[in-house]
Chain A
Amino acid sequence: DTGVSQNPRHKITKRGQNVTFRCDPISEHNRLYWYRQTLGQGPEFLTYFQNEAQLEKSRLLSDRFSAERPKGSFSTLEIQRTEQGDSAMYLCASSLVGWEGRYEQYFGPGTRLTVT
Chain B
Amino acid sequence: LAKTTQPISMDSYEGQEVNITCSHNNIATNDYITWYQQFPSQGPRFIIQGYKTKVTNEVASLFIPADRKSSTLSLPRVSLSDTAVYYCLVGDMEKLSFGAGTTVTVRA
Contacts and interface: CB of A to CB of B under 8 A. Distances in A.
A102 B93 CA distance: 9
Contacts of B43: 2, 4, 43, 91-93, 107-110
Interface residues of B, number: 21
Interface stretch (A13-21, A34-42, A64-72, A80-88): A34-42
B49 interface: yes
A35 B100 contact: no
A110 B96 contact: no
A74 interface: no
Interface in B65-108: 85, 87, 93-101
Contacts, number: 61
Contacts of B46: 104-106
A48 B45 contact: no
B42 interface: yes
Interface residues of A, number: 29
Interface in B42-60: 42-46, 49, 51
Interface string A90-108: 0111000100011111111
Nearest to B103: A40
Given A40-B100, A103-B32, A104-B49, A45 B95 contact: yes
B41 interface: yes
A89 B60 CA distance: 27
Contacts of B51: 101
B96 A35 contact: yes
Interface of A: 2, 4, 31, 33, 35, 40-45, 48, 56, 58, 91-93, 97, 101-110, 112
